[in-house]
Homo-oligomer: A and B are copies of this chain.
């Protein structure tokens, strides 16, 4: 990760370099991130696989370049993509037995600003919510909000204001959950909450669950989160999960795992919970033999040649997935 000063400082000292016809200060509003992953699976039989890994353009993020590699080089009939009911792009790969390697390399432009904090935003009454948001109030596979409803109202029922309630949920999870793997791919929000241990996925599920119990529409988000303006983390990078709450007419970012505003999020997909947007779903037994994820700020204006390989970043090796029909590697 490169050293960088804060956005406002950098505007003073870093002249815009890249062919812009707009004032220098525009450059100060965005940064570029190289993000991507390399996954190796060992498959004992032909296996249909889904990957939810492709960001789209949204206000706040722009794809400058993208490339993808699948090995072996599958026939075109065995790879495709579709848009799911949440609007996410889903890759389908009909993988043969043996080793499957999938890599994705992105050059993204994202906002240089931290996650907004708008603490006064009110809660929208249920009766004023658009109909298509109501299902974000219902429980889902890993968000057993119906089972923590009493707890939610006991803890947060007296807090006035939508943002304030959602923030109080995050603060509470920070204070009561210890970061660490105790969960599996089938752990629900309540189970993680009661265990006292959580990884990012669990933090997000628990945040979503408490918010839904409080009648705040909430959804699970997966994406990349580079280490910018934070102390270096020497563990292998991984995909990240956080959540969004519908407040005052828009989805707002909350991250109970880190619980302070971050720079550089790349949103990949959203859904009701990790079941909808697992970065990988394998319909069969699989071993994730190798996993490498990168998300780093860069000054580059294009992706380097493939011959240079992917970024040097710590990797995860030999992660044996469960033998369940749906294998979902853990997010950190």
**Which residues of A approach B to under 8 Å, CB–CB?**
16, 18-23, 26-27, 29-30, 48, 50, 56-69, 71-85, 87, 89-92, 94, 96, 98-99, 107, 109-111, 125-127, 131-132, 134-135, 137-141, 143-147, 149-150, 153, 185-186, 213, 215, 275-276, 281, 283, 301-303, 305-306, 323-326
Contacts of A146 in B (CB 8 A): 185-186, 324-326
CA distance in complex: A69, B144 (Å) = 33
Contacts of A302 in B (CB 8 A): 67, 305-306
Ordered by A's residue number, 26 sampled pairs between the chains whose C-beta atoms are within 8 Å are A16-B73, A20-B72, A21-B99, A22-B72, A22-B74, A22-B96, A26-B74, A27-B73, A29-B76, A59-B80, A65-B65, A65-B66, A65-B68, A76-B111, A80-B131, A84-B135, A92-B131, A92-B134, A126-B283, A135-B276, A138-B141, A139-B141, A146-B325, A153-B325, A215-B325, A302-B306
Contact B71 A131 (CB under 8 A): no
The verdict on A73 contacting B215 (CB below 8 Å), with A141-B139, A186-B144 known, is no
Contact B276 A85 (CB under 8 A): no
Contact A76 B62 (CB under 8 A): yes
Tell which of B69, B84, B144 touches A131, judged by Cβ atoms closer than 8 Å: B84
Return A131 CB to nearest CB of chain B, in Å. 3
Contact A64 B68 (CB under 8 A): yes
The verdict on A326 contacting B75 (CB below 8 Å), with A65-B65, A185-B146 known, is no
CA distance in complex: A111, B89 (Å) = 22
Beta-carbon nearest neighbor of A214 in chain B: B325
Contact A138 B275 (CB under 8 A): yes
